[in-house]
Structure 1
Amino acid sequence: MNYIIEKEWLLEKMKDENVRIVDCRFALGNPIKGQQEYEQGHIPGAVYFDLEKDLSGEVQTHGGRHPLPDLDVFIGKLEEAGIDENKVIVAYDNGEGAFASRFWWMLTYLGHEKVYVLNGGYKEWLAANYPTTTEVQVFEKGNFTKNIQRELLADVEEVRKIASGRNPGTVLIDSREEKRYLGIEEPIDKKKGHIPGAVNKQWMDGLEKGRFKPAAQQSARFSDLNRQNEIVVYCGSGVTAAPNFLTLKEAGFDNVKLYLGSFSDWISYKDNEIE
């Protein structure tokens, strides 16, 4: 499958009434930066979706640092942006891939079949001297019909079975950088290490200079995995695991789930073990 599109395609299609563009730029250490960048300039026709205000719900005891938002509220925001299940959706960030991939996963989870991530993001768009604007376009309200794909989401109970060896046909992938996986350092969460049994596939290895690597290279990244196995990916809070989910699908893996609560949810349960 092809879930990543190039800037040349979007340049040609951006005025198409059936295309909606979503700006997902965000900075984890500076949560207002993405909105500011959008206001300073964005791809014409793009609407802004904020990781923490729109793509995440309120942080609670469990669920992780970026839990799912109330889906009815989220769908209402999609509809205000003129998005329905028939529109072609293109999401972009600054080229990190993680924030646009989070939006892509959420739309895919809702059953949308025509959602893509812009390769190279806004940085590559700017470098090509493609048009930008500060105008915020208003669209006629859409009517989004959800079709939840529950098989794309793993919860903590399922991950417990994997970690305890009770689900030997499933591979658990930790998408964080190696130092966090090994527990050498942990800059964000209160505990260090990884979920027992997880293998490390760093999400940033799927990109090079702000671009997703081609499908053949993604297949090579995951060549040690059995395509018949179920795969569950996680990270710290369900954001940087999304590019791994996306690239696994690009590489032709069919049975992939996201543990959206990820490590920050796992450690919220005192009885969960850590390696």
Structure 2
Amino acid sequence: MIYSTVVDSAVLAEHLDDPGWRVLDCRHQLSDTDAGARAYAAGHLPGASFVHLDRDLSGPMNGSNGRHPLPDPQLLAGRLGALGVSRETQVVAYDDSGGMIAGRLWWLLRWLGHDRVAVLDGGVDRWLAQGGLLSTDLPEPAPTLLEPTLRDWVVSTQEVLADVHDGQSCLVDARSPDRFRGENETLDPVAGHIPGARNRFFRDNLDAEGCLRPAAELRREFLALLAGIAPQQAVMSCGSGVTACHNLLAMEVAGLHGARLYAGSWSEWCSDPSRPVAGRTP
């Protein structure tokens, strides 16, 4: 069976020794970028390898391409291949933040054309709550080849800017409601949001235990948000193209396929003062 959205801890536990499965630890804190590596060293799911949001799952910043630019596809495929990920590998990504970072890896692998990837529902906390153990052993996966087949799932700033004027698509911002309104901005130099964007806080996709809510609930809420616009016309954004992937994951679980990603998101948009801003506070 192929898992392409989420997988629960019980299923993963049955496959920990399966050579066709690879587990990747994506833990990260925006305020302390070494926290994930420290957490991994202190204890990780057995057999898991660590990937870093900034170094592995993002490309270099140039001041105008956002805080987490997309990585070079060939470099990313090479890094994942070195960790034992091939076309036939079932990948499971996890974190400790409701899938916030794991969702980015999930989307990146699918962008590369690899559908055998799922997020561990509930992450490391759910794993531990259900009796799973952690390990400090470092895996030694056999390197393999992952050949990317890139999908046209990325929307440019120019396309978003054009849509501000013609309104042909639905731009959805995954940031918290206060940041969307232009309040309490601490990550980017400008507060506010892209004109015409709608807000869907990524944490609204989760239940009280940090697992994804039922597909029917997610479907109902996203359809209400899209308000008649087809999922294929939806574009997900956030602060830097990370939590937007969580909304893409939730839409996929809900059976709403085809939405794309504005990877630069708000941090790229606001780097140019000529671009319009909505919701800015005085």
The AA in structure 1 aligned to 2:223 is S
Aligned with residue 42 of structure 1, among 41, 44, 52: 44
Question: For residue 248 of structure 1, what is the aligned residue in structure 2?
Answer: 251
CA distance in 2, matches of 1:95, 1:126: 14
Query: Quick check: 1:71 aligned with 2:73?
Result: yes
Give how far 1:8 is off.
0.5
SS in 1 for 2:49: strand
CA distance in 2, matches of 1:248, 1:161: 24
Question: For residue 55 of structure 2, what is the aligned residue in structure 1?
Answer: 53
Is the deviation greater in 196-205 or in 63-72? 63-72
Unaligned stretches of 5+ residues in structure 2: none
Maintained 8 Å contact 2:43/2:136: yes
SS in 2 for 1:27: coil
Maintained 8 Å contact 2:5/2:117: yes
TM-score (norm 2): 0.93
Give how far 1:127 is off.
1.7
Unaligned stretches of 5+ residues in structure 1: none
Alignment map for 1:12-161 (pairs within 5 Å):
12-150=14-152, 152-161=153-162
Q: Deviations over 1:96-131 (max 9, x none)?
A: 211000000100100001100000100111122212
Give how far 1:2 is off.
5.6
CA distance in 2, matches of 1:81, 1:139: 6
Give how far 1:157 is off.
1.0
Question: For residue 183 of structure 1, what is the aligned residue in structure 2?
Answer: 182
SS in 2 for 1:105: helix
CA distance in 1, matches of 2:201, 2:230: 21
Question: For residue 267 of structure 1, what is the aligned residue in structure 2?
Answer: 270
Q: Deviations over 1:36-89 (max 9, x none)?
A: 111111111111001011111111122100001222222211111011121000
CA distance in 1, matches of 2:217, 2:119: 18
SS in 2 for 1:90: strand
Maintained 8 Å contact 1:2/1:250: no
Maintained 8 Å contact 2:4/2:115: no
TM-score (norm 1): 0.95
Question: For residue 219 of structure 2, what is the aligned residue in structure 1?
Answer: 219
Maintained 8 Å contact 1:227/1:253: no
Distance 1:250 1:111, change over 3 A: same
Identity of aligned residues (%): 35
CA distance in 1, matches of 2:186, 2:271: 17
Instruction: Calculate the aligned-residue CA RMSD, in Å.
Output: 1.3
SS in 1 for 2:220: helix
Alignment map for 1:225-244 (pairs within 5 Å):
225=226, 226=228, 228-229=230-231, 230-244=233-247
Give how far 1:221 is off.
1.7
Maintained 8 Å contact 2:174/2:200: yes
The AA in structure 1 aligned to 2:239 is G
Between Structure 1 and Structure 2, how many residues are aligned? Answer: 272
